Structure 1
Amino acid sequence: MEQADHGDLAALLPEDVLADVLRRVAEPRWLAISRCVCKAWRAIIDGEGLLRTDLPFSGFFITFAELCLPEFFARPLSRLGRRAISGKLDFLPTPIKVSSGGWRPYSLDGDYYIQDHCNGLLLLDDYVVNPATRCWNALPSCPHNHTTDGGIVRGILLHDCYLAFDPKVSSHYQVFEVPYLCRGKDETDPLEETSEWPPSSYILHVFSSRRGCWEERLFVRQGDAAGTVAKARVFFEGQQNSVYWRGYLYVHCQGDFIMRISLSEDKYSAIKAPMGVGDTNYIGLSEKGVYFASFVKNHIRVCILNESSNQLEWILKHDYDLKPIQMFDGQVHGPWILEDINYGIFRSHLPNINKEEVIQEKFEWNSDDDDFPENEDKVEVHRRRPYFEIEILGFHPYKEILFLSRSETFKLKAMAFAYHLNSFKIESLGSIYPSCHKYFDSGLANEAREIESFPYTPCCWIQEIPGRVN
């Protein structure tokens, strides 16, 4: 008698029994892999919503402009059997290697700069990556076969890519290449400078993981334009970032407005920035939807986008005083810890330096406990401090908490803080300054040493090609 294989045995189980078995798979990674076994298993996992849970807040990915690998900043929590989240990305086919020579003693060959992120996936130049499951998909180059976009000459037009992904809806994602106007005073036709921006229609390049290719899609504007081409080209210092929420991609690619792109209707709107905000802005997701943060003198202004009516409008939450952060006295090590991945790669090439060892477990997410301890490092004002640069790290995805960084010249002694927007409580979280940073610093001027960051919520997404699971 021939012995049935595992697939045949599983097929003999009643659907409710098989569903109960799959519910007992505790590790999300293996549940995601089980989804790739066959159509029947995939239908049960999707139908029962076994992977449709809120994505827990894990920590922050922080990208330093002069470092090639993103750092991960989080509390050192772990559970046995859980895979660590890391910015090393050593499972990708093109590894980062240390090389010598050139104008610096040591440098890194390669660059894993994070262009965008969405619900646990990272968008790199050539890959879409899930660091929680160590899965990746190659991203083909976007073809350009036309010379104009929306009637604007390509000479003053640049493009950035943004990721749209909702694991609660589908395991597939889309990448949007969104044009924006080059900032500055390059010579252009005066008629173009007075043209409305953004245009009445866009042809956007969109990559679909379902189809596996780029395609051109026409998006028609709803409502008024944000202004003119000349106004849109004014320089701004905020991050060009995006958020994806309830089927809409919100892209902040110009200083004075945000594009709200409907993925299902191929339409978009231009949402003007809140009144009275500064030049350094940031959009993010939090408890009530899309938030907007902007520096206004010694305060940071936070607004919430009200989408309950037909007309989109910003509601001011509050202006928050930044002096307690500027006046904080002392360097804190913990309770959150920087992964220090760039130092780890360079360490064997550096002089003998006694780096303070921090005993910690692997980084991983904890969905049950992301409250901040009540007795950790309270901020106290002691005396007048020198000028510090304050930057926005991001919003807590589920609680009204804004994360900020404070640093001295050249990003020295950079620290992270949590600003509770309802209680006005401020907590110091720890140092985000990479160890031995000066030995692999690129020598950029201080204003070019950008810190870009975002909150990371890991998901169980896994592509349909088992060979690319590492």
Structure 2
Amino acid sequence: MDMASVQLLPDDVLADILRRLGPHDLAVSRCVCKPWCAVIDARRMLPADAHLLPLSLAGFFTVSWTESLTAYFSRPCASIVVGKLDYLDTDDARSLSVADQCNGLVLLHRPTLWPDDQRVLNPVTRQWAKLPPYPHLVSPCMKQDSYQREDMYLVFDPSVSPHYEVFLFHSVPYNCYEVDVVDEDAFDPAVKKMEWPPSSYTLRVYSSKTRQWETKPFIREGEAAGTIGDMESALSPGHCHAAYWQRALYVHQHDFVIRMTLSNEKYKVIKLPLGLDVRTDDEPEHYLGKSEKGVYCALLYGNNRLGVRIWFLDEICGKMDWLLKRDINLGNLLANYPWKHGDRSWTTQYVNDEIGRSMTPAGAKFESDYSTNDNVIVPEYTVSLLGFHPYREIIFFRTSFGRAMAYQFNSSEIVDTGYLQGKGPHDCVGGSFAYTPCRMGKLSNNM
């Protein structure tokens, strides 16, 4: 049935047709074309298909730098309630934190140098699966006892399959943030001249379909980002985020993005956008994520990181061009902003805390500590990125004293969302992950 015929159908008839589709068929139908996607999304709250697909933003999972606590910062109108993780078969759920999320599934791990406990969780259904230990892999020509960074990323696409995959990336040790653990002699001078990423980049991949880890080589198309020696001092954040878009995985590594095409096991290197007037000694912070039209990148830079640039990755005709969407001065926007808590503010709950307490607007005591009056904050603050709205051109920030905000690209409107407060007024967010609820996916341990 073409769209012209669909538009002639009465709304109740069309709704009845959609109710007859199974969850997987409904997801596939969304991918046919934009008009079909709009028709289905406009009726996603029908009882037959409510919450089956990841179509709305419910909140953010955030991880604290100080104590590795995982918080769930949720919208007031979100019907999905995420509780404590005490139903997992572990005596130490507190040490599990979020490593990644994708379309409603969440990847948990223990943030240690050699983590031995990874789980994939669906917070809606409370189903989870424990991954088997993964095979360790050392970078080519690297000393066996040298520290090496490894990051895990989750891929789940209910429009393609009910199964998920976990990708484990290794990268070159870097000196930017972890000088105390990096071995400066990890590579011989000749090895430092080798290109990175390599022409054949071997990843460890776990599949829920086979329930085992496999090694998969991905072949590079185009130029490398640089040499192994370049990567040792390249800019790199504490947590490198990823984005999944149209069967490709985009991973932030060092100062570039790796675009993995999962259908043909090839990859490309895309340099991160920076800007001619942004100095590297400003220690800019990039955030990679998915939003309304595809893959986006945000950059915090300048004094107190109050400068924000937002780009969209244009991939038309195979080109990889970063198009600047916005260049914002948050200092001007926030200077006289009334940070008064409202009745519909978002709330925070720690999901791996011992008592699972809820951090509600009681955090307002921090507001008065940093205000010249009840409504206006003195301009002594910094901001960090929480991430993009997956389906609308909105980006979320958090201030150094716990207040969170949303900035809309098109209207340039900034909205106060509530307190994302940690143990203290300067508690930092180490990682943040947009959560889109979904009832699909096959998880085995407690089905």
- TM-score class normalised by the smaller sequence: 0.7 to 0.9
Q: Give unmatched runs, 5+ long, in structure 2.
A: 1-15, 31-47, 110-117, 176-182, 365-374
Large movers: runs of 4+ above 6 Å: 43-52
- Alpha-carbon distance change, 258 to 356 in structure 1, aligned in 2, over 3 angstroms: closer
Could you give the per-residue CA deviations for residues 307-340 of structure 1, whole angstroms, max 9, x where no partner exists? Answer: 1122211111121111145424554434333233
- Residue 84 (str. 1) matches residue 54 (str. 2): no
What is the RMSD of the two structures over their aligned residues, measured on CA atoms? 3.4
Q: CA deviation at 1:387?
A: 2.1
Question: 1:258-269, aligned counterparts within 5 Å?
Answer: 258-269=257-268
**Aligned twin of 2:439:** 460
Decide whether the 8 Å contact of 2:274 with 2:299 is kept in 1.
Answer: no
**Aligned twin of 1:117:** 101
Q: CA deviation at 1:304?
A: 0.8
Decide whether the 8 Å contact of 2:58 with 2:78 is kept in 1.
Answer: no
Could you give the per-residue CA deviations for residues 75-129 of structure 1, whole angstroms, max 9, x where no partner exists? Answer: 22266xxx5233x222211155xxxxxxxxxxxx741211111111111122100
Query: Partners in 2 of 1:300 and 1:404 — Cα distance?
Result: 10
**Aligned twin of 1:149:** 139
Query: Partners in 1 of 2:363 and 2:301 — Cα distance?
Result: 39
Could you give the per-residue CA deviations for residues 227-253 of structure 1, whole angstroms, max 9, x where no partner exists? Answer: 122222224336311111111111112
Decide whether the 8 Å contact of 2:341 with 2:418 is kept in 1.
Answer: yes
Q: CA deviation at 1:160?
A: 1.2
Query: Partners in 2 of 1:85 and 1:384 — Cα distance?
Result: 32
AA aligned to 1:428 is D
Question: Aligned pair count?
Answer: 375
**Aligned twin of 1:182:** 173
- Alpha-carbon distance change, 193 to 468 in structure 1, aligned in 2, over 3 angstroms: same
- Alpha-carbon distance change, 134 to 69 in structure 1, aligned in 2, over 3 angstroms: farther
- Alpha-carbon distance change, 342 to 296 in structure 1, aligned in 2, over 3 angstroms: same
Q: CA deviation at 1:386?
A: 4.0
**Aligned twin of 2:38:** none
State the SS of the aligned residue for 1:124.
strand
Decide whether the 8 Å contact of 1:157 with 1:180 is kept in 2.
Answer: yes
State the SS of the aligned residue for 2:97.
coil
Query: Partners in 1 of 2:413 and 2:218 — Cα distance?
Result: 43
Q: CA deviation at 1:65?
A: 2.3
- Alpha-carbon distance change, 47 to 294 in structure 1, aligned in 2, over 3 angstroms: closer
- Alpha-carbon distance change, 422 to 153 in structure 1, aligned in 2, over 3 angstroms: farther
State the SS of the aligned residue for 1:468.
coil
Query: Partners in 2 of 1:419 and 1:44 — Cα distance?
Result: 35
Q: CA deviation at 1:393?
A: 0.4
Query: Partners in 1 of 2:54 and 2:152 — Cα distance?
Result: 25
AA aligned to 2:412 is F
Q: Which has the larger radius of gyration?
A: 1
Q: Aligned to 2:126, which of 103, 124, 134?
A: 134
State the SS of the aligned residue for 2:95.
coil
For structure 1, which segment, 176-185 or 65-74, has the greater mean C-alpha deviation from structure 2 after superposition? 65-74
Decide whether the 8 Å contact of 1:175 with 1:207 is kept in 2.
Answer: yes
State the SS of the aligned residue for 1:232.
helix
- Alpha-carbon distance change, 462 to 287 in structure 1, aligned in 2, over 3 angstroms: closer
Query: Partners in 2 of 1:174 and 1:455 — Cα distance?
Result: 19
Percentage of pairs with the same residue: 35
State the SS of the aligned residue for 2:316.
coil
**Aligned twin of 1:385:** 378
TM-score, normalised relative to structure 1? 0.71
- Alpha-carbon distance change, 314 to 48 in structure 1, aligned in 2, over 3 angstroms: closer
Q: CA deviation at 1:464?
A: 5.8
AA aligned to 2:446 is R
TM-score, normalised relative to structure 2? 0.74
Q: Give unmatched runs, 5+ long, in structure 1.
A: 1-19, 26-30, 33-42, 97-108, 349-353, 359-381, 408-412
